[in-house]
Amino acid sequence: MAYLLKGVSILGASPTDLYIADGVISDKPVDGAEVIDAAGLVALPGLVDVHTHLREPGREDAETVDTGSRAAALGGYTAVCAMANTSPVADTAGVVEQVWRLGREAGLVDVQPIGAVTVGLAGKQMAELGAMATSAANVRIFSDDGFCVADPKLMRRALEYVKAFDGVIAQHAEEPRLTEGAQMHEGEVSTRLGLTGWPAVAEEAIIARDVLLAEHVGSRLHVCHVSTAGSVEVLRQAKARGVRVTAEVTPHHLLLTDELAAGYDPVFKVNPPLRTRKDVEALRRALLDGVIDVVATDHAPHAVQDKECEWSYARPGMLGLETALPIVLSVFGPQWDLIADRMSIAPARIAGLDGHGGDLTKAGTPANLTLVDPSVQRVVDPAELASRSRNTPYAGMTLPGRIVATFLRGEATVLDGKAVK
C-alpha cells in the first residue's frame, strides 16, 4: 500500500506532502497512493519504548504480546522492548525467540525481547546471554527488571560479557536491603501515612556503584526508571567523565508525586515509587539537558485482583503505552525535536533498532512513523484502552494530543485513531 500524507508537518515544520511507498519514505509522487488529509497533523518517527512489560508468557490475563502491541501502536509506537520478567522468565534462547515470534505474528510493532541477566531473575547465576544474543531474537539488552542485580561481582561479569557483542545491561537500581518492606517513597508523606519508606539512596547507591563498574570494565550500562534528583546528579557526573551510561525516565515520574498515595489507591503504587515535586522537577530538567536520554514507559499491566486490593498487597506498576506521548506533551509542550529524540531516536540507538528513529525528511528512510493531532484534548477513559489491563493512573485526566495514524514499514497499524487489525 502507498500513502500520500497531504499537508503534514514533519516535527512541527511547515506543511508538506509526504509519500510512503514500498515501506519507505519517497520524495516523488506515487501513483494510486491513498491520500490522508494530514493538515494540522505532526509526523514523528515511530516511538520506541526500551521498557515494556507484555506479560506473555505466563500472565496473559494481564496482557499478551498481541494486546500490548495494539496498545503500543495506538500510542504511536513502532517498536517496544519486552522485559524479561515473564513466567517462564526470558532467560533462554527458547523464551526470547517465542516472544519475538509472537511479536511478528501480531505484526503491529517490532517486539524486541530483552533477556534476563540471571537465571530465573534470582540474582545468583548468569543466564545464557550469548545464546540469547545469537538467537533469532538477536537480544542486545539484558535486564533482571523487577529485581536489581544486587551482587556486584555478578553485575561486573555481566557488564564484561555483553561487551563482546555491544550489548547493554539495563539495571533496576534498588538496593534490596534498603527497601525491605517498602511501600512508597520514604519522606514526609510516608511518615504521615505510616507506610514503610523506599529511600532515594537505595536507588542512588546502586547507580553510583554501577557507573563505577561500567567505567572500570568499559561497558555499556543503562539505568531503568530513574526517579530521584540525587540519581540525576550521579549520572551527570558519570557522563561528564565519559562513562558509557544511558538512562530513562517514565512519564509517571515526570508528572506524578508521592502525595497521590494519600488516598491509598494502589493505582499509584509503582516501583520505583512516585517521589517529590523536587525530584519531578530535577527529572524534567535532566531530560531537557540530556543527562537522561529517553522516556521509557515501564508499561506494567496488572490484572484487577492484583491491583484492586489493599495498598500493601497490590503489585507495583502502571500502564503507560497509550498515554506516554500525551503526558510528555502536557509536561513539555510541542517541543517536537526534543520529543522525537527522547522518545524515538535515542531509544532506537540504545536498543540497536536500525530502521527506527529515522529521518522522515530523507527518501529511503524506513516508513516507521506516527501522526499526532496536537490540537485535540482527550479525557483518559480506562475502558477505552486497548491494553488488557485497566491500571492507568490518569483516569479522568484531560491530556493533549491524539495519535491519528501509525505506520510500520509503510503499512498502517493505526488509522483514524483505530488499530487496523
Residues in the annotated binding site for substrate: 53-55, 85, 271, 302, 316-317
Torsions phi, psi for 378 (to 5 deg): -130, 145
Q: Report CA-CA distances (Å) from 338 to 10, 20, 292, 311, 345.
A: 13, 24, 12, 36, 10
Paired sense of beta strands 369-379 and 220-223, if any: unpaired
Angle at which helices 229-240 and 277-289 cross, to 10°: 30
- What's the min distance (Å) between Cβ of 55 and Zn ion? 11
- What's the min distance (Å) between Cβ of 221 and ligand NCD? 17
Q: Tell me if 252 contacts Zn ion by CB under 5 A.
A: no
Paired sense of beta strands 42-45 and 369-379, if any: antiparallel
Angle at which helices 152-163 and 200-217 cross, to 10°: 40
Q: Is the Cα torsion angle 135, 141, 145, 149 positive or negative in sign?
A: positive
Nearest CB to Zn ion, comparing residues 59 and 402: 59
The residue count for the chain: 421
Q: Look up cell 545469537; give the residue.
A: 134
Please identify the residue of the shown chain whose CB is closest to the bound Zn ion: 172
- What's the min distance (Å) between Cβ of 110 and Zn ion? 19
Q: Look up cell 535486564; give the residue.
A: 143
316 binds, among Zn ion, ligand NCD, none (CB under 5 to 8 A by kind): ligand NCD
26 binds, among ligand NCD, Zn ion, none (CB under 5 to 8 A by kind): none
Distance of alpha carbon 185 from alpha carbon 276, whole angstroms = 8
Q: Contacting Zn ion (CB under 5 A), which of 49, 144, 145, 322?
A: 145
Contact 414, 406 (CB under 8 A): yes
Q: Tell me if 269 contacts Zn ion by CB under 5 A.
A: no
270 binds, among ligand NCD, Zn ion, none (CB under 5 to 8 A by kind): ligand NCD
Nearest CB to ligand NCD, comparing residues 144 and 341: 144
Q: Tell me if 342 contacts Zn ion by CB under 5 A.
A: no
Residue positions forming the annotated binding site? 51, 53-55, 85, 145, 172, 225, 271, 298, 302, 316-317
- What's the min distance (Å) between Cβ of 148 and Zn ion? 8
- What's the min distance (Å) between Cβ of 53 and Zn ion? 6
203 binds, among ligand NCD, Zn ion, none (CB under 5 to 8 A by kind): none
Residues forming contacts to ligand NCD in the complex (CB under 6 A) are: 53, 85, 145-146, 172, 270-271, 298, 300, 315-317
Q: Contacting Zn ion (CB under 5 A), which of 298, 306, 322, 341?
A: 298
Q: Tell me if 210 contacts Zn ion by CB under 5 A.
A: no
169 binds, among ligand NCD, Zn ion, none (CB under 5 to 8 A by kind): none
Nearest CB to ligand NCD, comparing residues 145 and 293: 145
Distance of alpha carbon 222 from alpha carbon 90, whole angstroms = 19
- What's the min distance (Å) between Cβ of 24 and ligand NCD? 35
85 binds, among ligand NCD, Zn ion, none (CB under 5 to 8 A by kind): ligand NCD
Nearest CB to Zn ion, comparing residues 140 and 315: 315
Contact 185, 258 (CB under 8 A): yes
Active site residues: 298
- Residue 36's beta-bridge partner residues? 5
Nearest CB to ligand NCD, comparing residues 46 and 273: 273
Contact 245, 221 (CB under 8 A): yes
Distance of alpha carbon 44 from alpha carbon 11, whole angstroms = 6
Contacts of 368 (CB under 8 A, 6+ apart): 45, 46, 78, 79, 355, 356, 358, 407, 408, 409
Contacts of 13 (CB under 8 A, 6+ apart): none
Nearest CB to ligand NCD, comparing residues 9 and 85: 85
Using CB under 5 A, list all residues that contact Zn ion: 145, 172, 224, 298
